[in-house]
Structure formats: C-alpha cells, structure tokens
Amino acid sequence: MTSIFAYSLKQRRLMMTLPAALLLLSGCAVGPDFTRPAAPAVNGYTQEPLATKTVSAPVAGGEAQYFASAEHIPQQWWTLFQSPALNKLIEQALKNNPNLQQAEAALRVAQETVYAQQGAYYPSVSANFTPTRQKEALNSVSSSAASGASLFNLHTAQLNVSYTADVFGNNRRQVENLQAQADSQRFLREAAYLTLTSNVVTAAVQEASLRAQISATNAMIKIEQEQLDLFQRQFELGAVAQANVVAQVATLAQTKAMLPPLQKQLAQQRDLLAALVGGFPGDPMPETFELSMLQLPRKLPVSLPSQLVQQRPDVRSAEEQLHAASALVGVAQSNMLPQFTLSASGGSMSTQISQLFSPGNSFWTLVGGITQPLFDGGTLLHKKRAAEAAYDEAAAQYRSTVISAFQNVADTLQALQFDADGLQTALIAERAAAESLAIARRQVELGDIGYVTLLAAEQSYQLSVLTLVQAQANRYADTAALFQAMGGGWWNQADNVAR
C-alpha cells in the first residue's frame, strides 16, 4: 500500500526545513530574565546580641538551652523531644491529614499544567477519515466524481500538522510562569508539612500543660479540703469562729470552680489532636501527654540570616510568585510582536475505498503565516503595563514575607530567653509560696495568725503553681516555634523517614 502522502523528495525536504528554520529563530525570549533576590544585608536577628545560652532551673523543662549558629536542622526535628507517643502521632498526621493531602494534590495539578503547556513546543498532528455519500443535481455543469455519476461515495483520509514557532519566547515564558507557580506550590506543600508537624507538637504541649494545671488544681483542692476539715473540728471545739469555716468553704468552692474550664480546654485539645491526625473526635486516640514525657532540646540551631531566605518555605513560595510575575511580563511583551505559524495537510480522496491510496488520488497543502498586531485599542499595551504592575506587587509581597520571617525568628529567640528567665523566677516563687503556705497552716493550727493570712497564702501558692506549669509549657512550645521559624529542615531529605 502506498503512503497517503504523495510529496516529492524536494517537497518533503521543504516541509522539514521550514520548521527547523523557525526553531533556529526561536533563540531569544523577550522580557526580563528572572534573578533571585539577594538575601538581606543583616548580621543578626535582634538589635542587641543574644546570649549564647539561656539560664537554667532545677525543674522539668528547666534545662539550659544553647544557641548553635548554622547548626544542622533535622527534617524530623520533633524527634528531639524524645517522645515515642509524639513521634507516632505525627506519623499518623503525615499519613492522614487532609490539608497535607490537599497540598500534595495541588502540587500535582500545577506540575501537570506545566507539562500541558510544554506540549506547545511541538507540532500538533491530527488525522481524520471522512466517508460521505453525495448526490448532486442532475442539471449540474459537471459531477465531482470522475465517473460523472450524480450519486456517489467519497472517502477522504487526511493528516493535518500545525506548528507555531516560538520565535520571541511567548511559550517559553508561559512555561516559565507555570513552572514557577508549580515551584511555589511545592514550597506551599512544604509549608503545610511544617505547619502540620508544628501544630501537632504545640497541641501535645498544650495538652500536657492542661493536665499539669488540672493536677495542680486537684492538689490545691486537697489542701483546702484538709484545711476545711481542720476548721470544722476547731469550730466544734469553739477554737475558731463560724465565719472562718464559711470562708474556707467559699475558698474551696472557688478552687473547684477552676476545674471545669481546664477540663473543657483539655477535651477541646484532644479533639484538635484527633483532627490533626485526620480523625474524628469520637475516634480512639490512646496517646496522652504529660510534661514529664517530653525532653527539652538542649541545642537549638540558629541559621545565619543569609540562609533563612533559602530555608523558609513561605519565603521561597513568595520568591517563586515573583518569578511567575516576571515571566508574565515577557508573555505580555511577546504578544505585541509578530506570530509565526506553519501548517500542512495531506491525504487521499477516492470514490472507492479500495483505491483510496492509489496514485493520483493524493493532495497536500502547505501554509505559512505571519501575524503582526497593528491596532487593538491599546489592549496589549495596557496588558503589558498590568503585568509590570503585578511584578511590582509580587516584589513588595516578597519583601513583606522576608521581613515577617525575620521578625518571627527574632520574636522566638527572645521568647526562649525570656521563657527561661520566667521559669527560673516562677520556680523560686512557687517554692517560696509553698513554704509560706506550710508555715501559715502550722500557725493557724496553733492559733498564732488569723484566717485572712492563711487565705492569702493559699491564693499565692495556687497562683504560683499554675504560673510555674505555664512557664514550663512555654519553653517546650517556643522551642517548637523556633524550629518552625527556621524552616523545619525540609531541605534535609536524607533525614526523611516518616514521609
């Protein structure tokens, strides 16, 4: 069977030479070539130099922490808290959290969109076969069929090829724009990963803090109940007034009233953890958290300011958005320049399908075109100006993201130092309040002081205990916040096990 194309050797060479010539012309792309913004010229995160380590306190979560410049940040940074329960919970979250799955799917959409646009680099080829049955008027001058019949079948097989030469880089800039958006989405995926793991750690720390506050409140209730029992015995013996008994009943009731809000927060925190791991509030979740189950990381990595813009996924995403806006400027400029197109079609036509590919039945067409916009009412000009304005907008957004990132790191570093100072002070206050309460209880038993003094000691101790628990939790939570502020180590793929 002969080919459906009946081109001569010279014609075929022409068909191959024209696209090649247009490809050679496609050596440039108009518009700005994107250059990554330079890192901010700063030497530190705060105005005053930070201490190399924090103070310590002899209590859980009171270890001194060291700030290590340019230290390696593991991707699974949460393992530094040395909690198997926490590691298991984060592993479940990485497998089942729908927000992370949504970010993964969005990345696949963006990358497939890039591949689709890359298809415009190549010619578009289509084939068709059209069988028809025709009847022409009897008084026609001539019949379309070679036999002269007015009723006949017509079979047409045709191959069509079309190609738009990317002479001024219009398609390359479009691919560049879409690839930058895909890269932005990739960093948004990393940001979702980092946010999820940080939220799980923070929620676990908050649960541990609430459990400690509930335990401290129950301990206080026990102390006040014992004091009420003592007052009741002394009242029966006539040693104290009834007013003291009533006042102690009120104090005990006030302390018990603190439990329901704490229990409510704990229940809500458990619901939050269930949602983070991709479950429902009613699903069983055996992992529970106490502050004693968490080990405070001693060495804290602090990246150099010049490295931070490379590590923060939100900054990298904003950078790729800036890149995408830069490419669109090139697209707008190329739309104002000539467009070169080349199309060809060829095939065979016959009234007998058996003779469709016989010599003499072939046909072909070769068409080239150049289109130059001359007047469009200013549409292309204003689209170009809009693209340039969008680039300025993306540049401002990038600078804002960088500034926020540095602010986030500075706030976290300062918080860690003040957390350590606060825990040290809270421990001193708690021990002093505990000793003061013990002395006051002995003096009340001996009748040396009045009830008002005891009440003040009880309230001081209760407040100091809760303050101490919250100070302990702050150190764990802000440590997790520092790893998040530094980018979470997503670039250390060798550390990746859970994913």
Number of folded domains in the chain? 1
Residue 46 maps to a domain: yes
Domain that holds residue 416: 36-123+165-338+379-495
Residue 146 binned pLDDT confidence (cut-offs 50, 70, 90):
low
Whether 307 maps to a domain, the answer reads yes
User: Is residue 402 assigned to a domain?
Assistant: yes
Mean pLDDT score across all residues of the chain? 88
Q: Which pTM does this prediction carry?
A: 0.86
Q: Is residue 11 part of a domain?
A: no
305-330: average pLDDT: 96
Query: pLDDT tens digits, residue range 421-442?
Result: 999 999 999 999 999 988 988 8
Domain assignment present for 346: no
14 within some domain: no
Q: Residue 182: inside a domain, yes or no?
A: yes
Q: Which residues of 143-172 are buried (b: 16+ CB within 10 A; e: fewer)?
A: bebeeeeeebebbbbbbbbebbbbbbbbbb
Q: 16: alpha, beta or left, given left = phi > 0 and alpha = psi -120 to 50?
A: alpha
pLDDT in tens, 189-225: 999 999 999 999 999 999 999 999 999 999 999 988 9
Residue 351 lies in a domain: no
Cβ atoms of residues 492 and 315 within 8 Å: no
Tokens representing 284 are: 């069983």
Neighbours of 358 (CB within 10 A): 13
Interval 164-170 mean pLDDT: 93
Q: What is the mean pLDDT of residues 340-361?
A: 87
User: What is residue 132's three-state secondary structure?
Assistant: strand
Q: Does the pLDDT value for residue 109 go beyond 70?
A: yes
Task: Specify the CATH number for the domain of residue 178.
Answer: 1.20.1600.10
